[in-house]
A = this chain, B = another copy of it.
Amino acid sequence: MEERVYNFSAGPAMIAESVLKKAADELVCYPGRGMSVMEMSHRSSMYIEIFDRTKALLKELMNVPDDYEILFLQGGATLQFSAVPLNLLTTGKADYVDSGNFAHLAAEEARKYADVHIAASSREDTYTYVPDTFDWRPDADYAYITTNNTIYGTRYTAIPDTGKVPLVADMSSNILSEPFDVTKFGVIFAGAQKNIGPAGLCIVIVRRDLMGHEDPKCPKLMSWALESKNDSMLNTPNTYGIYMAGLGFEWLRDLGGVNAIYEQNKYKAGLLYDYLDQSTLFKAPARRDCRSLMNVTFVTGDADKDAAFVKYAAKNGLVNLKGHRSVGGMRASIYNAMPVEGVKKLVEVMKAFEKENA
């Protein structure tokens, strides 16, 4: 078996090796079924069994109350940038926090449909922090946040209180990485390709009373109410992606669930931030009180040195450490499936590089 690298990609990202091995073993024939999961009719009892188990696992892992629906959709978070206003607007007002690239794109997309108000923004400060004071409108149809900002490496450590206005959260880059109280949200959505499984799947968790108010011109497949009525099978869903998500959920449950992985994630991120805080070569640009546990950004302050480090790390089996093209520098994405050993190795390699470049 070929040696696997430590892959610090921001997404698609690492998947636990045991999950991949199980998927490989079952790929040609799912045990006892004589066919691949990819070949199963989505309406067959053998597939529905996989689907129901996956949904139940996510409900258990996130402690999703019964008055919320869990949907397994396609189109990633970006399709939800449009689906959120198309499903939720009634008076036409929507409040957004502009805390990063994807938050900004979501607000821009909503302007097609809504009177968008920016309740808080860190855009002028190059998104180095997450706002903590907000100018919410009490009569908005919804309030929108992005719980973790993948590109800038920041996250909310406290969820804002929006009173009676339903809070919508894009959790693409930190769902299942720490405990979230689902009851604080009206809608949670997340692309799968960071903390859940392969790309091409988007999880939407929506409070049932918020469904059924979609715009008459909402594309049928984007209606949460219709998808809920059809248990995510208004048409053929991403059946294999859902199966892979299920294997990932099982892996997480067996590991001790969200509380256990949260401890591990704090430990992993801590290894990196502790080193960064005493390094004379590397600096972490994100404000200390809102550092992400999933995406650790750092810079040397010298673009050539940054590039040299990325190459140096790759030679040592640590790949995809280059920061997003819009910000440069480095980014270590250390989602749930990144082993502790990968982070330890990264710190070692950073130390060695620092020594060589002192």
Point out residues on A near B: beta carbons under 8 Å: 1-5, 7, 9-15, 17, 20-21, 23-25, 27-29, 31-36, 38-42, 44, 74-79, 81-83, 86, 109, 112-113, 191, 193, 197-201, 216-217, 219-222, 234-241, 244, 317, 319-320
Pair A217/B112 contact, Cβ less than 8 Å:
yes
Q: Is the interface of A mostly helix, strand, loop or mixed?
A: loop
User: How far is A75 from B221 in the complex, measured between Cα atoms in Å?
Assistant: 8
Known: A34-B2, A79-B219, A109-B220. A200 touches B23 (CB 8 A): no
Pair A221/B11 contact, Cβ less than 8 Å:
no
User: How far is A219 from B218 in the complex, measured between Cα atoms in Å?
Assistant: 9
- Name the residue of chain B whose CB is nearest to the CB of A201: B200
> A81: which B residues are within 8 A, CB to CB?
219-221
Q: How far is the CB of A200 from chain B (nearest CB, A)?
A: 3
User: How far is A38 from B24 in the complex, measured between Cα atoms in Å?
Assistant: 12
User: How far is A12 from B240 in the complex, measured between Cα atoms in Å?
Assistant: 10
- Name the residue of chain B whose CB is nearest to the CB of A202: B74
Pair A1/B15 contact, Cβ less than 8 Å:
no
User: How far is A236 from B13 in the complex, measured between Cα atoms in Å?
Assistant: 12
Known: A217-B113, A219-B79, A221-B82. A12 touches B42 (CB 8 A): yes
